[in-house]
Amino acid sequence: MELKYKNQIVKVNEGTTGFDLLKILNVEGKGNVLVYKLNGELFDLATSLPNGGDFSFVTKDDAEAFALLNHDAAHLMAQAILSMYPKAKFGIGPDISEGFYYDIDFGDAIINDSDLAVIEARMLELSKADFRVMRQVVTKEKALEIFANNEYKIELIKEINERITIYSQGDFVDLCYGPHLPSTRYVQHFKLLSLAGAYWRGDSSRKQLTRIYGVAFFSKEALDKHLANLEEAKKRDHRKLGRELGLFMLSEYGPGFPFWLPKGMRLYHELEHWWIKKQREAGYEFVKTPQILSRELWETSGHWLNYRENMYTTLIDDRDFAIKPMNCPGSILIYNNGLHSYKDLPIRMAEHGHVHRHEPSGSLNGLFRVRSFTQDDAHIYCRKDQLQGEIKRLLKLYDEVYKTFDLSYHIELSTRPEKKFIGDIKTWNLSEKALAKACKASGIPFKINEGDGAFYGPKLDFKLRDSLGRIWQCGTIQLDMNLPERFDISYIDANNQKVRPIMLHRAVFGSIERFIGILIEHYAGAFPLWLAPTQIAILPVNNDAHLKHANSVVRKLEKEGFRVELDASNEKLGYRLRTSQVNKIPYTLVIGDKEQNDNLVTYRKFGAKDQITVPYREFIALIKREIRDKA
C-alpha cells in the first residue's frame, strides 16, 4: 500500500505498524512520537495500518497530544485505584479540555481528598513500571465475559454495534476505543485535583458514583505552571470576588437567578450602554419582545419539540404558554409585522432580551451557568447576495469588541447535530459552506466542530482566551435558512416576486451575565477605569479640617460623570487606603491641606505604591483620556 508522508510517497507492506514506520522512515526523536494519524484518524503505534493514504506521526508538540496524554492518565489512575481497591468498578473515564476524570463505584469504601495523594503515589509506581499498553479487538460476547462483574461496562457494551476494543496495561483491562500511548511511562507528571459526585450517565435517578478529576502534562514545568494558574484562578473566582466587591448575590430562594447589587448594576449598565452605542453605530435598530408567548409559536419554531425540556411553561386562559428561552421567534414576528422590499434589506434588529432556560441544579455555577440571563441578541435578515458581506461585517465587529477587553479568540464552525435538527440536509450543507467561505474571505482561520450546531442551523462559535490562558465560549453567529421557512417570511424582489430572506442570529457577549463573570476573572476584579463600579475614592485626611472640601471634590467629579465614593470614616488614613486597594478602586484621592489650599489632587492608582500630586484640571484630563481610550 502507498502512504503520503511529508510530500513523499512511501510504499509499505500490509501488516506494517506505526512502530515499523518509525524505523523505515528513520524518524528522529522517536521518544516524542505518541500515535500515528492516517487520513485524519488516530491509531496506536502498535496497530497495523488498515489502508493507505495521508500519513503523519503525532508528537508531544501536536494539538492532539494533551488529550492523548490525559486519556492515558485516566487509565493509569484507574489501574492504581484497582490495585488499592480491588472491588472498585469503573464507569466512564475520558479526557476533557481541562485534563481527565473517571467515574468510579467504590462500593463500601469511603474516599476523601486525603486519599488522592496516596493514589498519585501508586500511579507514579505504575508509571515507572513501564507497562506496555496493549490493544485487542474482541467480540461482544467476549467483552461481556471480561466485564461480567461490572454492570456499568456491561451497559455500555450492549449499546455498541461496531467493533469492540479493549486495552490492557499490566493486570488492568478497560473497555476503550483508543488510541493510547505505547506504555505507562509516558504519564509521569500529573496531579489529582478534586473529588465530586456524579450520577451514572448524568441521570439523577441512578446511582451516584465518585468522580475524580486530574490533569497531566509532559513536563514538570508545564504541570507546575498549570497548578499555579489554578491557584490564581481560585483567587479570581467570580463568585468570591462578586461577593467581596459587592457586585451580585445568589440565593436559595432563586437557584440560578442572580441578584445584581448596586455596584454590580453600575458595571452592568456601563457595559450595556457602551454596547448599545456600539451596535447603533453598526447599523442596528433595537426592539423588545414579550417574555411569555404561546405554545403555538414555539411549535412553529421547533422549540417545543426540540427544546421543551429546557423551557418554563405556564397555563393562561386554558392555553399553554412558555417563558421565552430564545428571542428569535419574537424577532420574526416583528419582521412579519410589515411588508419588506429587497431595498429594505439587510434589516439588523437587536434586542437585549431576557431569557429563561431550565438548567439542572448540579450544573449551576455563579454567573457562568444560570437559569435567567440577558442575551445581547441580534437578528439580521438579508438577501443571498448580501450574506458574505454581512458575515464579514460581523467578524469585524466581534474583533473590535473582544480587543477592547484584551481577549484573544479563535473560531469554531459547528455543524449539523446528528439527531435533533430541523430542515433538510441540503440546506444545512449550503449554510455550512457559506459560513466557511465568509471566514476564508476575511482571512480568519477556523476549526470544524462536528455536530455541535444549533438545532436550526450551523454556527460560528467564538472561543475567548483570558489572562490566565483559559478558554471561554462566548459569541456566536448562526446562519438560519430554516426558521424563515417555518414562519413563511419573505421580501419582494426586483421582479415583484416573494423571496425568502436568510436569517443570521448573532450574540457577541452571548450572555451579559456570563460575560461579566468572565471579565471579573479576566481582570481579577480590577476593572479598567471606564468599567469600574467605583472609579474614584475620596479620602479626607482629617474630617474636621478637610471633609467640606472633600465633599466639594465629590460633587465636582460627579458632575463630570464619574462614579465616586467618599470614605470619611473614623479609621486611620492608612487603613482607608488599604480598604480602597482591597476594593480595587482604580484611583484613590487623598485630600489634605495642600490639596484644599492649592486646588490640587493627590492620587494613587490601584496596585501602585507611589502617590502623585497634580492640578485638579490635569487629573480630570488624565482620567477622561483613560476612559476615552478604554485603557
Give the catalytic positions in this structure. 328, 357, 375, 377, 379, 459, 505
Beta carbons within 10 angstroms of residue 148's beta carbon: 10
Q: What does the alpha-carbon distance between residue 274 and residue 281 come to, in Å, rounded to a whole number? A: 11
Listed residue (580, 247, 524, 281) closest to 406, CA to CA: 524
Residues paired with residue 379 on neighbouring β-strands, in sequence order: 349, 505
For residue 111 the three cell numbers come to: 474516599
d(CA 367, CA 238): 8
Q: Residue 387: how many CB atoms within 10 A of its CB? A: 21
Q: What residues form DSSP beta bridges with 59?
A: 33
Burial pattern 508-520, b for ≥16 Cβ within 10 A else e, equals: bbbbbbbbbbbbb
27 C-beta neighbours (distance < 10 Å), count: 14
CA distance 349 to 376: 11
Q: How far apart are CA 620 and CA 627, in angstroms?
A: 11
Alpha-carbon distances, residue 36 vs 54, 135, 137, 180, 406 (angstroms): 11, 15, 18, 10, 37
Q: And the C-alpha cell for 582? A: 482591597
Determine the Cα–Cα distance for residues 275 and 478; give it in Å rounded to an integer. 20
Determine contact, residues 210/104, Cβ cutoff 8 Å: yes
Distance CA 417, CA 453 (A): 6
Rounded distance, CA 334 to CA 287, Å? 8
197 CB-contact burial (10 Å; exposed 0-12 / middle 13-18 / buried 19+): exposed
Nearest to 136 by CA among 161, 166, 162: 166
DSSP helix/strand/coil, 619: helix
Using CB atoms within 10 A of its CB, is residue 588 exposed (0-12), middle (13-18) or buried (19+)? buried
Do residues 487 and 336 make contact, with C-beta atoms less than 8 angstroms apart?
Answer: yes
Give the burial string for 335-351 (b: 16+ CB within 10 Å, else e).
beeeebebeebbbbbbb
